[in-house]
A and B are shown apart, each in its own frame.
Chain A
Amino acid sequence: MTATMPVVATPKIGARNVSKHYPTADGTMVALEDFSLDVADGEFVCIVGPSGCGKSTFLRMVAGLESISLGSIEIRPGREKAKPLNSVVFQEYAIFPWKTLIENVAFGPQMRGVGRKERLETARYWLDRVGLGKFADYYPHQISGGMKQRVSIIRALANDPEVLLMDEPLGALDAQTRVVIQEELLRIWEETRKTVLYITHSLDEAVLLGDRVILMSAQPGRHLATFKIDLPRPRTIAMTNSPRFAEYRAQIWEKLSAEVTRAMEAQP
């Protein structure tokens, strides 16, 4: 039970009082306000919140893909300096349609200057690990949505980053495929124990995967509540039927539903 420490002395990801403002024609739009979050090494943190609460914006700021208006975000580098700090799994199927699956998975190492033989070996290892080995030379348009998102996930893992940032990676999938990939994700995470920041709409997904679930408020996004999920690891899909799981879900939903209603009413 010691694996789920929420905050340690030097967090892997440390976000301090982060805000995001967008200038618009009629004044400044505040997407995220005074948001702080510490993620420990090897921790799996899920962020849930109503649509437009700025959770994806926050993730992109952690990834360095979006500028930070106020505050600071730091990712602590590991011992190997060559390792990338973060890799993002995007919401859409952001694997490149013009590259074969194996080229897609090998893309991160390729950009870091890893030799052809070595990076293709790494890519093949990951493709085999999720059962896509025989599709290595296929192009993305030849495979299903679920397979594409698997490739998207292992493209990040093959890059071996310090932290993995996942932006609603399963949002576009149908319910059945979603469950299958959730299970796969659990299995891979138990084996690699990467630090993960995971954005999702789905409470079930958040409770199933996360060590902690962070709830955000509707726009502007603020920290609303933190739930520590003390379900034992390794977890399985079967746990979603347990009473404790239901309890967590009900607890979070109670807070979230009020926020969702507020967000809907605020919309014109």
Chain B
Amino acid sequence: MTAATTRDVPAENKVSSTPRTTSADKRASLVLAAAIVALNGGLAVVGLWGNFASAAIGASFVLLVLMCERIGRLVPVKGRGIYERTLALGFPLLVLVLWELAADSGFINPTWFPPPSRIGAALWDLSTRYDRFSGTTLLGRPWLMPEAFSKDGWGGVWNLVAESHVFATVARVLVGFVLGAIPGVLVGVVMGLNQTVRLMLDTTLSAIYVLPKIAIFPIVMLMFADPFGEAPKILVVGLSVFILMAINTMAAVRGIDKVYLMAGRNYGAKGWSMLRHVILPGALPVIFSGLRIALGTAMIVIISVEFVRAKQGVGYMTFYYWEVLNPEKMYAGLVVVMILGVLLTYALQWLQRRLMPWQR
């Protein structure tokens, strides 16, 4: 009996489904939109929205997801890409708009949670004005660059760039990243191939890996003649990247299908040629996902180091504006960190496509 009914249902659906579900989806998404408005509007009118804020936000989110799914079903295959991009960008935009409204209406304290428009204005201010008191410049006073160029050529422009916070942070991250990643990958390869080395190093590295790098920063500072210079900052970034990449590359090398190693050996690869033609390319996909995580770690480490001890850098700037009670600019600093993170990740993805053309 049950077998018969389950067989009948899809058959019935197939015959008359397409037009009916389309209109049903349309109606449903309208109903859901109305429900979101009614829920929040109703609570606001009664004056209880504040008391049930988290419940209202949660329920609205669920209703919104259901609504977007209904709308998604209505989108033709051709428009799928646009729909997905709209969803991916539209939601964060919606959050920003709601934040703006909430701060304007005084629902959240605009002193500590300044609305996005004011953070944007602060970011503009940081980029286009020089704070004489702190000697702070985010991008290195771009408005002076044409003049510097005509006076001293590229050297003059370079001097301006070098004084900027963005340059200081990016330079530390990149130098530390490269200095940590290259030996990290090499040590990881050795650990992946040689059991003795693996057994000797694995536990040690796992132990150091979990240490917050900011906690060993004071020790690293003591290792240098100039503890307040660039070297300890770069080293602590490099160390975090090194340990992560060693562990990650070890896993990558061990994960290479044995048949590729056998094929490499059988066709005469050994030593360097084995590494270059079989082991490195075989491990590269996993190495790259490790590099992506390591990049994030490098950012986290450098920002926290700059919070603690630096005279230049986005982390220093963010903390400085916190100390002088200028939350807008502090938020602007955080936004710069996020933008840097996204840009560096894009750069890494570009490199990945260049180095691994076989992965679509």
Which residues of A line the B interface, CB within 8 A? 60, 63-65, 84, 86-88, 90-92, 94-100, 107-108, 111-112, 139-141, 155, 159
B265 contacts partner chain A, Cβ-Cβ < 8 Å: yes
Asked if B259 lies at the interface with its beta carbon under 8 angstroms from chain A, I say yes
Within 8 A of A (CB), among B241-297: 257, 259-260, 262-263, 265-269, 273, 277-278, 281-282, 284
Chain B interface residue count, CB cutoff 8 Å, equals 21
Contacts of A96 in B (CB 8 A): 260, 263, 277-278, 281-282
B358 at interface by CB-CB < 8 Å:
yes
Within 8 Å CB of A99, what residues of B? 277, 281, 358
The answer to whether B20 has its CB under 8 Å from any CB of chain A is: no
Expressed in whole angstroms, the minimum distance between the Cβ of A61 and any Cβ of chain B is 12
Cα distance A111–B272 in the bound complex, in angstroms: 11
- With a CB–CB cut-off of 8 A, which chain A residues contact B360? 141
Check B266 against A65 for contact (C-beta < 8 Å).
Answer: yes
Which chain B residue shows the least CB distance to A65?
Answer: B262
Most buried by A among B265, B268, B269, B278: B268
Is there an interface contact between B268 and A90, defined as CB atoms closer than 8 Å? Answer: no
**Which B residues are in CB contact (< 8 Å) with A108?**
267-268
Cβ-closest chain B residue relative to A90 = B259
Q: Which A residues touch B356, using CB under 8 A?
A: 98
Q: List 6 A-B contacts (CB under 8 A).
A: A63-B266, A65-B262, A84-B268, A97-B358, A108-B267, A155-B267
Which of chain A's residues have a CB closer than 8 A to the CB of B273?
A: 111
- Cα distance A63–B359 in the bound complex, in angstroms: 31
- The residue from A64, A94, A139 contacting B263, defined by CB atoms under 8 A apart: A94
Once the chains bind, are B262 and A88 in contact (CB under 8 Å)?
yes
- Tell me the total A-B contact number using a CB cutoff of 8 A: 59
* A90 in contact with B263 given A98-B356, A111-B273, A139-B358 (CB within 8 Å): yes
Residues of the A chain whose Cβ atoms lie less than 8 Å from the Cβ of B284: 98
Cα–Cα, bound, A155→B259 (Å): 15
Q: Knowing that A94-B263, A98-B358 are A-B contacts, what are 13 other residue pairs whose CB atoms are under 8 Å apart, sorted by A's residue number?
A: A63-B266, A65-B265, A84-B268, A86-B266, A90-B259, A94-B259, A94-B260, A96-B263, A98-B281, A98-B282, A99-B281, A111-B268, A159-B267
Chain B: minimal CB distance from A226 (Å) = 27
Whether A92 contacts B259 in the complex (CB less than 8 A), given A97-B358, A107-B277, comes out as yes
Q: Which chain A residue lies CB-closest to B281?
A: A98
With a cutoff of 8 Å between Cβ atoms, the chain A residues found around residue B268 in the complex are 84, 108, 111-112
- Complex CA–CA separation, A100 to B263 (angstroms): 16
- For the complex, give the distance between the alpha carbons of A97 and B256 in Å: 12
Q: Give the CA-CA distance A252 to B201 in the complex, in Å.
A: 54
Smallest CB–CB gap between B239 and chain A, Å? 30
A141 lies within 8 A of B262 (CB)? no
Which residue on B lies nearest to A97, using beta carbons? B358
| Residue of B with least CB distance to A139 | B358
CB of B123, distance to nearest CB on chain A (Å): 42
Query: Which residues of B have CB within 8 Å of A87?
Result: 266-267
CA distance A65 to B260 in the complex (A): 12
Q: Determine the chain A residues whose CB is within 8 A of the CB of B262 once the complex forms.
A: 60, 65, 88, 90, 94
Which residues of chain A have C-beta atoms less than 8 A from B257's C-beta?
92
Q: In the complex, A99→B281 CA distance in Å?
A: 9
Residues of A within 8 Å of B265, CB to CB, are 65
Q: Which 8 A-B pairs have the closest CB atoms?
A: A111-B268, A98-B281, A139-B358, A94-B263, A94-B259, A108-B267, A88-B266, A98-B358
